[in-house]
Amino acid sequence: MSTRLLGWLDRLGSSYWFLPSLMALGALLFSFATLAVDRTYAHASLPRLALLGALNDADGARALLSTVAGSLITVAGVVFSMTLVGLSLASQQFGPRLVGNFMRDRGNQAALGIFVATFLYCLMVLRTVRSADAQQGIAAFVPHVSVGVALVLTLASLGVLIYFIHHAAESVQVSYVLARVGRALTQQILGFPPADEPNDREAAGASAEPSVDAPEGGAVPATPALPEAFQREAVTIRSQRAGYVQAIDLGGLTALAAEHDALIRLHNPPGSFLMLGGPFADIHPTEAAEALAGRIEGYYVLGAVRTPQQDPYFLFDQLLEVALRALSPGINDPFTAMTCIDRLAEAIDLLARRRLPPGHLEDDDGTLRLVVPRPELGALVEHLFGELRAHAAGDPMVARHLAHTLRRMQASAANVELQATVDREVARLLESAADRLSASDLKALRSASRHVTAWIRLEEE
């Protein structure tokens, strides 16, 4: 499946209209099917539904369908209003970047869809109900099967309404929001192969030595040195569009480069902002650059916002944003910040045990064709906990929790580079807190920063 198609499907999944519209269309087609059954067996000995009672006559069926239709369109409006309130609250409390998570919530989309679908179904059945008119020779027609289905849909809608009230109240709780982001981040990281899993060459039993050594867990394979001719003669291509890079068809670009015997170096990885007229690719040789200049940008999916489709660090930044807002003077919610720290540490520890995508791609012959900038795990740790350190160093409780969590992450990390990076972050935290905390709080922070390592040492002894 192409990257552009995946991007289009991702936008549909995050829209609030697609699933309700699909359910409404399904209700429309379903009404035609049930009415066809009623018309087919209208003159047969189709037994009337005993549970419907008075609704077996035209007036009763018409009253039921009109009441249900009017009530459910009102409920749909209330559901939409409650959703907008939830989005507004999420934007103010958690940050505007998390609004997309609420838009992707299948529970809210399905609730709105079932109400709209039931309304449309009742409306379509209502138009076929007619009373008998002896003067004009018109026989009464009551679609018993369709009315029975409408009653079932009404009961289902009542159950969905109860669920939605619970779900709406739950979805604005910070623990629930962070758990959802944490689960999405975990699923994305688990998409990377384990660090000890053999690569494609090893799995295939290739006799040739791989061009890049297998990386340590959480590390990005080193990109081979670019040819000297590339440094001198590469042609820089400038962008004709602007926006956030949501996805890149790396496989397509690799095949394109192999087709023209070219080497392409990209400037903007997924998640970065591509400026209009800014450089976004270097191509070598010159002949290939002339042929590919107008084609490479077609392999980019740009948008107005970042998405987690190919950006593994977008969800990290969402957790960081919630933590920084919680530590701001206006909110001052240290427990939310500590929850974010736990989620960040869990994801980093998991990421350190996976093999990150390489920053380069080769063709089937092993020739380097594409170079993509990739941030390393150490840089991610410095970015996340460096930003947190500036705000957490003045809060004794959050600073202690941050130091303790960093030491736990360091003790469990198998990546030597990650251990060294975490050790530097702990030292920087103590340095930042030295002139912001009291002597007793600073002493407790130093104790927290040594607790886990001392415990590990005692256990080993």
Look at 48-62, 108-122, 168-182 and tell me which has the smallest mean pLDDT. 48-62
Question: 12-16, 204-208, 393-397: which has the highest mean pLDDT?
Answer: 393-397
For residue 381, the one-letter residue type is V
CA distance linking residue 332 with residue 392, whole number of Å: 11
Average of per-residue pLDDT across 116-139: 84
pLDDT at 138 over 90: no
Write down the mean pLDDT value for the chain.
82
Of residues 365 and 214, which shows the higher confidence score?
365
Confidence at residue 204, expressed as pLDDT on a 0 to 100 scale: 44
pLDDT of 216 over the 60 cut: no
The model's pLDDT over 303-317, given as tens digits with 9 standing for 90+, comes to 888 888 888 789 999
Q: Specify the pLDDT at position 201.
A: 43
Nearest to 379 by CA among 347, 425, 339, 414: 425
Q: Mind listing the pLDDT tens digit for each residue in 318-356? A: 999 999 999 988 888 899 999 999 999 999 989 988 888
pLDDT for the residue 42: 63
Is the pLDDT at 228 greater than 70, yes or no?
yes
Query: What local confidence, expressed as pLDDT, does residue 199 receive?
Result: 53
Q: What is the 3-state secondary structure (H, E, C) of the chain?
A: CCHHHHHHHHHHHCCCCHHHHHHHHHHHHHHHHHHHHHHHCCCCCCCCCHHHHHHHCHHHHHHHHHHHHHHHHHHHHHHHHHHHHHHHHHHHHCCHHHHHHHHCCHHHHHHHHHHHHHHHHHHHHHCCCECCECCCCECCECCHHHHHHHHHHHHHHHHHHHHHHHHHHHHCCHHHHHHHHHHHHHHHHHCCCECCCCCHHHHHCCCCCCCCCCCCCCCCCCCCCCCHHHHHHCEEEECCCCEEEEEECHHHHHHHHHHCCCEEEECCCCCCEECCCCEEEEEECHHHHHHHCCCHHHHEEEECCCCCCCCCCHHHHHHHHHHHHHCCCCCCCHHHHHHHHHHHHHHHHHHCCECCCCCEEECCCCCEEEECCCCCHHHHHHHHHHHHHHHHCCCHHHHHHHHHHHHHHHHHCCCHHHHHHHHHHHHHHHHHHCCCCCHHHHHHHHHHHHHHHHHHHHHHC
pLDDT at 452: 54
User: Is the pLDDT confidence value at 398 over 90?
Assistant: yes
Q: pLDDT tens digit string along 235-248?
A: 898 988 899 998 88
Assign 1 a pLDDT band (cuts: 50, 70, 90). Answer: very low
pLDDT at 177 over 90: no
* pLDDT tens digits, 142-168: 888 898 899 999 999 999 999 999 988
Per residue in 59-77, pLDDT (tens digit) is 888 888 999 999 999 999 8
pLDDT of residue 117: 95
| pLDDT exceeds cutoff 80 at 271 | yes
- In tens, the pLDDT along 84-110 reads 887 787 777 777 777 777 777 888 889
